[in-house]
């Protein structure tokens, strides 16, 4: 299949309406289009079409029990897709949409099980990207969209990443430049008694609690131990797969900063001596402290959006450099750091060394 590749914005930052109309027409015909959002690129198809959803799973090589997020261009488009839009969920939409928050509600009959991975609930989100919103609006359908990567690889933060994974498999890639946040939306389940975060993201537990009162994390998210992780099944089916992963073996080193640097340098020497190519993921402040030729800083640790913005592109870059072992510093915090560490721990397959 030929994949059309077009820019979403013109030189002056105005929408490229020719390209966006073309994308909307593809969606209306049941075809697939990759598009930019504020989090990561999405691979969109008509959420009400069984065939489009099946095609999404096939293009990504994704297991079909892993449900898709349905993207809308406004709140009123949610009503036909859900059994009921409860007050609290509506408040969330009014406060955080458009934006990086996905809300789980009970689905109506028009949403096919092919889209929800067999579940009776549906994940809903209104992305904060002008081109995406215009495309969804013109297509006149809700748009099911997982991240536009091959299943298991880091999510795409640039159109080039989408091209690497999906060229020839989908009808169009709408290039909106680099995304802002760089990791996927926060997911909150609003179908139970207590709102539950199923995936941490840019919208934090604190912000959600301010509006909703008690909010909890799905217990599977707090696990750092591989054996425990195998036993507790996360409520977001996608969170159980090894995700976001680079080809290299990725190991996190956590603890006192000086000890972390010392340990990483030790590991670099050990593995280089064994003939492996090593790499280090760190922050600006420590990047000159490593005795390794392959060091990438995610940025200034205080600026968490820069760290999240750079994470997936860095993991992909290590793949390009054919790195065998990546040693990484950690980036935990109560804010975006929770989401950054959630993705890093999964990318590392729970390999964490405490020093
Ligand atoms: O930022 C984002 O959310 C991006 C952009 C493209 O919007 N999308 C994204 O989609 O990350 P995806 O498919 O890569 O991740 C969707 C996650 C999976 O972990 C999936 O299991 C979960 O959402 N999910 C979807 N529907 C669900 C449901 N009904 N119940 C529980 N989890 C659900
Ligand atoms: Mg994904």
The DSSP secondary structure of 12-40, one letter per residue, reads TS-B-HHHHHHHHHHHHTT--EEE--SSS
Long-range contacts of 226-235 (CB under 8 A, 24+ apart): 226/349, 226/350, 226/351, 229/350, 234/198, 235/189, 235/196, 235/198
Looking at residue 341, its pLDDT comes to 96
- What is the average pLDDT across 52-58? 97
At residue 351, the 3 state secondary structure works out as: coil
Cis omega before residue 187 (within 30°)?
Answer: no
pLDDT at residue 241 tops 70: no
Q: For position 333, what pLDDT does the model report?
A: 95
Q: How far is CA 12 from CA 9, 74, 176, 275, in A?
A: 8, 26, 13, 50
Q: What is the pLDDT of residue 65?
A: 83
Statement: residue 224 has pLDDT above 90: no
Distance 143 CA to ligand 1 centre (A): 13
Lowest model confidence (mean pLDDT) among 55-69, 140-154, 222-236, 272-286 = 222-236
Over pLDDT 70: what percentage of the chain? Answer: 99
Distance of CA 32 to the CA centre of its chain: 18
Degrees to nearest 5, angle at CA 207 with 203 and 208: 85
3-state SS class at 210: helix
SS3 state of residue 92? helix
Report the pLDDT averaged over residues 265-277. Answer: 98
Output the average pLDDT for the chain: 96
How far is the centre of ligand 1, averaged over its atoms, from the C-alpha of 67 (Å)? 7
Residues in contact with ligand 1 by the CB-under-6-Å rule are: 37, 39-40, 42, 66-69, 102, 104, 116, 119, 121-123, 125, 127, 145-147, 184-185, 187, 198-199, 235-239
> Phi/psi zone of residue 283: left (φ > 0), alpha (ψ -120 to 50 degrees), beta?
beta
Among the bound ligands, name the one nearest to the CA of residue 145: 1
Type and span of the H or E element at 346 = helix 336-347
pLDDT for 237: 82
Arithmetic mean of pLDDT, 271-292: 98
Is the model's pLDDT at 133 over the cut of 90?
yes
Q: Classify residue 222 as exposed, middle or buried by CB count within 10 Å of its CB (0-12, 13-18, 19+).
A: exposed
Query: Ligand 1, from 35, 83, 123, 240: best to mutate by most atoms within 8 Å of Cβ?
Result: 123
For a substitution probing ligand 1, which of 34, 67, 106, 346 has the most ligand atoms within 8 Å of its CB?
Answer: 67
pLDDT of residue 244: 77
- Predicted confidence (pLDDT) at residue 345 exceeds the cutoff of 80: yes
Report pLDDT for 239: 75
With bands split at pLDDT 50, 70 and 90, how would you rate the model's confidence at 242?
A: low
Nearest CA to ligand 1 atom 19: 238
pLDDT tens-digit readout, 175-198: 999 999 999 999 999 999 999 999
pLDDT in tens, 29-41: 999 999 999 999 9
What are the φ/ψ torsions at residue 157 (nearest 5 degrees)?
-110, -5
pTM, 2 dp: 0.96
Q: What's the full length of the chain, in residues? A: 355
At a CB cut-off of 8 Å and minimum separation 6, what does 116 contact?
67, 68, 107, 122, 123
User: Are β-strands 278-282 and 325-328 bridged in parallel, bridged antiparallel, or unpaired?
Assistant: parallel
Judged by average pLDDT, the poorest of 218-222, 253-257, 324-328 is: 218-222
Q: State how far the Cα of 184 lies from the Cα of 143, in Å rounded to an integer.
A: 16
pLDDT of residue 152: 85
Tens digits of residue pLDDT in 72-119: 999 999 999 999 999 999 999 999 999 999 999 999 999 999 999 999
CA dist., res. 29 & res. 20, Å (int):
14
The answer to whether 185 and 69 have CB atoms below 8 angstroms apart is yes
Give residue 239 CA to ligand 1 midpoint distance, Å: 9
- The average pLDDT across 8-36 equals 97
Does residue 45 contact residue 143 with C-beta atoms inside 8 Å?
Answer: yes
In this prediction, residue 63 carries a pLDDT of 84
Residue whose Cα lies nearest atom 10 of ligand 1: it is 146
User: Which of ligand 1's atoms lies nearest the C-alpha of 235?
Assistant: 31
Contact 92, 112 (CB under 8 A): no
Q: What's the pLDDT score for residue 339?
A: 97
């Amino acid at each position: 299949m030929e994949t059309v590749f077009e820019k979403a914005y013109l030189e002056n930052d105005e929408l490229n309406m020719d390209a966006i109309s073309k994308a909307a027409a593809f969606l209306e015909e049941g075809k697939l289009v990759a598009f930019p959002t504020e989090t990561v690129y999405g691979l969109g198809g008509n959420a009400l079409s069984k065939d489009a959803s099946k095609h999404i799973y096939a293009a990504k090589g994704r297991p079909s029990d892993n449900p898709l997020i349905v993207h809308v261009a406004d709140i009123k488009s949610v009503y036909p897709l859900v059994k009921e839009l409860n007050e609290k969920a509506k408040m969330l939409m009014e406060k955080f949409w458009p934006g990086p928050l996905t809300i789980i509600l009970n689905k109506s009959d028009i949403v096919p099980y092919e889209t929800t991975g067999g579940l009776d609930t549906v994940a809903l989100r209104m992305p904060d990207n002008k081109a995406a919103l215009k495309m969804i609006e013109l297509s006149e359908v809700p748009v099911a969209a997982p991240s536009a990567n091959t299943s298991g690889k880091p999510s795409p933060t640039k159109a080039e990443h989408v091209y690497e994974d999906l060229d020839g498999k989908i009808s169009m890639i709408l290039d909106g430049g680099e995304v802002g946040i760089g990791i996927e939306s926060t997911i909150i389940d609003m179908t139970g008694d207590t709102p539950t975060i199923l995936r941490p993201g840019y919208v934090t537990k604190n912000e959600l609690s301010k509006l909703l009162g008690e909010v909890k994390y799905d217990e599977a998210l707090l696990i750092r131990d591989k054996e425990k992780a195998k036993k507790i099944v996360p409520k977001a089916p996608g969170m159980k797969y090894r995700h976001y992963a680079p080809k290299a073996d990725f190991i996190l080193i956590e603890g006192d900063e000086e000890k972390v640097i010392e340990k990483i340098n030790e590991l670099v020497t050990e593995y280089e001596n064994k003939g492996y190519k090593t790499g280090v993921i760190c922050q600006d402040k420590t990047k000159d402290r490593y005795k390794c030729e392959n060091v990438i800083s995610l940025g200034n640790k205080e600026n968490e959006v820069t760290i999240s913005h750079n994470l997936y592109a860095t993991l992909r870059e290590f793949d390009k450099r054919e790195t065998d072992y990546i040693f990484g510093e950690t980036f935990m915090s109560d804010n975006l750091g929770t989401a950054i560490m959630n993705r890093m721990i999964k990318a590392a397959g729970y390999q964490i060394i405490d020093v």
